[in-house]
Structure 1
């Protein structure tokens, strides 16, 4: 049996690498290879697909998790492997909630993509034990509390303390305390530097991009 696959990834090199790997196996046929998640669900309706390799964050603003959710509602039998190079801490939880079958980090996963695809098609759900640990200033990403991560995510949007307090429904003093702890842990001297580095590393992504 030959399984039919679709690749959704905005990076040309990534798409071609996936295709190169898959073309070496007689078990797989790449039916579609597209650079946006925006219309991924329409490809699913038009094609007889078994599995979708879905990148998460696209440069055109489309989101692979949103597209995967639509696909799972339209064709729940189609397997989906979410792939990303960004260590955003919330994505694995959302992927599980959507019903995405497997999750693969491009640079950090121990298992190769062919192994993940094969096991997923066989009925397994393959997820890493944790998000890759990254360095943010002087601190490792595992050193932050869930609330500190929420505050940090809002900081990357340029939100002030008043706005953060309102959105998280906490006091202004609590926000200031969390920001102070973030600065102490990371060693950054300004909240702007902290926010920029958090965004550059991909540790947290602005919620409007998700």
Structure 2
């Protein structure tokens, strides 16, 4: 039986080593390639026989696995892709589905192992978590934020002003201020800047 050819795309050496260990422990899979940047993944894939990609989302060089997966699905739609991340950013699940990414796995929070998700994905299943992992942001949990608050928070972490956020979301600046005020009350953060930093560190609001 021919082994399933796997490509790893992850900028963290330890993560790549762990994935490699799992792959080598199975008789079903064969590691054929490792890439440490999502920006390099589409080019590396061209001309190479790969059946499955383990694609990290957030890369230290500024590239991201969602954009890379979108590009890959356009010229190699038959290749299965599993998005992997440790960040509980809610928008990534939705975007992954829209792109056509086959499965989504949280590195630290998933009940299933990556091998189990790989097996199910290669059987044609779309394996997605029921919900995003819950984390603490100050005194609040990430699930306490509304969808609109998350949109505001995501833009705040980029350094956008209230006026810029209002323009982007097509709402008034006073509405933006109200959303921020409610989030400050929920989290106990003392300033807009502290809230943005807490959100970015926790991984709940990362705009890519």
Q: For 1:175 and 1:67, how far apart are their aligned partners in 2? A: 32
Aligned-pair distance for 1:40?
A: 0.8
Deviations 1:25-84 (A, max 9, x none): 121110001111112112222211110000001001111011101111111011000000
TM-score, normalised relative to structure 2: 0.97
SS in 2 for 1:184: helix
In structure 2, what is the Cα distance between the partners aligned to 1:157 and 1:25?
41
- RMSD in angstroms over aligned alpha carbons? 0.8
Counterpart in 2 of 1:201?
202
2:29 is matched with: 28
Alignment length, in residue pairs?
Answer: 207
List, as ranges, runs of 4+ consecutive aligned residues in structure 1 with deviation greater than 4 Å. none
SS in 1 for 2:7: strand
| Structure 1 residue 163 displacement after superposition | 1.5
Question: C-alpha separation between the residues in 2 aligned to 1:5 and 1:127?
Answer: 20
Which consecutive unaligned segments of at least 5 residues does structure 1 have?
A: none
Q: Distance in 1 between matches of 2:74 and 2:162?
A: 38
Query: What SS is found at the alignment partner of 1:163?
Result: helix
Secondary structure in structure 1 of the residue aligned to 2:105: strand
Q: Residues of 1 paired with 2:131 and 2:33: CA distance? A: 30
Tell me if 1:151 matches 2:152.
Answer: yes
1:169 equivalent to 2:192? Answer: no
CA distance in 2, matches of 1:143, 1:128: 19
How do residues 1-210 of structure 1 correspond to structure 2 at under 5 angstroms? 1-205=2-206, 207=207, 210=208
TM-score by length of 1: 0.96
User: 2: CA distance between counterparts of 1:39 and 1:162?
Assistant: 36
Shift, 1:176, TM fit: 1.2
Q: Partners in 2 of 1:166 and 1:67 — Cα distance?
A: 29
Query: Deviations along 1:101-144, whole A, 9 cap, x unmatched?
Result: 00000000000000000110011110000111111111111111
CA–CA distance in 1 between the matches of 2:70 and 2:64? 10
Q: CA deviation at 1:173?
A: 1.4
> SS where residue 46 of structure 1 aligns?
coil
